[in-house]
């Protein structure tokens, strides 16, 4: 099944504690259908002192969010996504609104004969 979001997309969180926040996708994890969004869903971790890091400390990092809980943002609003195939075989993601704006770049180029 094609993914409606890709790395580098600006997305809005549509469900959960972080609902309404906007951020850029840093990483997509296809195996578990999750994405990591920059600056959203932050978790703190306490590190014990080790030989490599003798000070120890507390680090904050982004935790994954399920891909169904994010939507691409077009004109400041979250949109659903459609896939359009051009005559030459190239594929695009477009917003499912009346104006059908293109989201990102094409998924793959023209098909070779």
Which pLDDT score is estimated for 109?
A: 67
d(CA 73, CA 108): 21
β-bridge mates for residue 10, sequence order = 24
Please say if the pLDDT value at position 50 is more than 80.
yes
Extents of the domains making up the chain = 10-78
What's the pLDDT band for 70 if we cut at 50, 70, 90?
A: very high
Architecture of domain 10-78: Roll (2.30)
The pLDDT value given to residue 97: 81
Neighbours of 71 (CB within 10 A): 20
On whether the pTM is more than 0.85, the answer is no
């Amino acid at each position: 099944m094609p993914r409606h979001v890709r790395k580098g997309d600006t997305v809005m969180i549509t469900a959960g504690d972080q609902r309404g926040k906007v951020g850029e996708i840093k990483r997509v994890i296809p195996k578990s259908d999750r994405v990591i969004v920059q600056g959203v869903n932050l978790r703190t971790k306490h590190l014990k002192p080790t030989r490599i890091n003798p000070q120890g400390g507390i680090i904050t990092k982004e935790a994954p969010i399920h891909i169904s809980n994010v939507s691409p943002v077009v004109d400041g609003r979250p949109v659903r996504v459609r896939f359009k195939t051009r005559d030459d075989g190239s594929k695009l993601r477009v917003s499912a609104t009346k104006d059908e704006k293109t989201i990102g770049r094409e998924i793959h180029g023209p098909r070779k004969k």
